[in-house]
Amino acid sequence: MILNKRTWAVLSCTAAAMVAIAAAPAMAAPAPHPAAAVHRADDSLPALDPQALRSAISSAPNRVTGVLARISGPAGHWTGTYGVADITTSQPVPVDGRFRLGSVTKTFIATVVLQLASERRVDLDQSVQHYLPDVLPADYPPIPVRTLLNFTSSLPELTADDLPSTPDAIVQHRFDDHPLSELVGKAVRHDRPFTEPGSMQVYGATGYYLAGMLVEKLTGHSYEQEINQRILRPLRLRDTTAPETDPTIPGPHAHGYLAVPQPDGTSKLADVTEQNPGAGGMISDTADLDRFLTALFRGQLLAPEQMKELLTVPHVPYLGGSGKDPGHGWAYYGAGLMRVTIPGGNGRPDLTLWGKTGSTYGYTDGMFTTPDLHRRLVYCFNPVTGGGNDMALVNTIITAAFAA
Q: Mean pLDDT, the chain, as a whole number?
A: 90
Reported as a single tens digit per residue, the pLDDT across 191-226 is: 999 999 999 999 999 999 999 999 999 999 999 999
| pLDDT of the residue at 390 | 87
In angstroms, the CA 144 to CA 229 distance is 26
Reported as a single tens digit per residue, the pLDDT across 277-299 is: 988 899 999 999 999 999 999 99
* Distance (Å) of CA 27 to CA 39, 248, 269: 33, 26, 11
- Whether the Cβ atoms of residue 172 and residue 164 lie closer than 8 Å to each other: yes
Burial of 116 from C-beta contacts in 10 A (0-12 / 13-18 / 19+):
buried
Handedness of CA 313, 314, 318, 324 (dihedral sign): positive
Say if residue 52's pLDDT is above 70. yes
CB neighbours of residue 346 within 10 Å: 6
Mode of pairing for the β-strands spanning 267-271 and 283-285:
unpaired
Handedness of CA 317, 3, 53, 285 (dihedral sign): negative
Residues 6+ apart with CB under 8 A from 43: none
CB neighbours of residue 320 within 10 Å: 11
* Distance (Å) of CA 384 to CA 27, 68, 119, 167, 217: 11, 15, 43, 10, 37
* Distance (Å) of CA 153 to CA 57, 200, 339, 340: 36, 8, 19, 21
| pLDDT of the residue at 26 | 39
Say if residue 38's pLDDT is above 50. no
Of 62-71, 211-220, 346-355, 395-404, the poorest mean pLDDT is in 346-355
Could you tell me the domains of the chain?
5-402 (3.40.710.10)
* Mean pLDDT confidence for 43-60: 92
Reported as a single tens digit per residue, the pLDDT across 3-29 is: 333 333 334 333 333 333 333 333 433
| pLDDT of the residue at 387 | 61
Reported as a single tens digit per residue, the pLDDT across 66-94 is: 999 999 999 999 999 999 999 999 999 99
Q: Could you tell me what percent of the chain has a pLDDT over 90? A: 82
When pLDDT is cut at 50, 70 and 90, the band that residue 325 belongs to is: confident
Reported as a single tens digit per residue, the pLDDT across 118-160 is: 999 999 999 999 999 999 999 999 999 999 999 999 999 999 9
Residues 6+ apart with CB under 8 A from 158: 183, 186, 187, 190, 205, 206
Say if residue 253's pLDDT is above 70. yes
Helices of type H across 48-205: 50-57, 105-118, 128-131, 145-149, 167-172, 180-187
In angstroms, the CA 211 to CA 190 distance is 19
When pLDDT is cut at 50, 70 and 90, the band that residue 309 belongs to is: very high
Of 208-212, 216-220, 365-369, 391-395, the poorest mean pLDDT is in 391-395
| pLDDT of the residue at 3 | 34
Burial of 158 from C-beta contacts in 10 A (0-12 / 13-18 / 19+):
buried
Give the three-class secondary structure for 219.
Answer: helix
When pLDDT is cut at 50, 70 and 90, the band that residue 170 belongs to is: very high
The amino acid present at 318, given as its one-letter code, is Y
Say if residue 32's pLDDT is above 80. no
| pLDDT of the residue at 43 | 54
In angstroms, the CA 398 to CA 20 distance is 23
Residues 6+ apart with CB under 8 A from 264: none
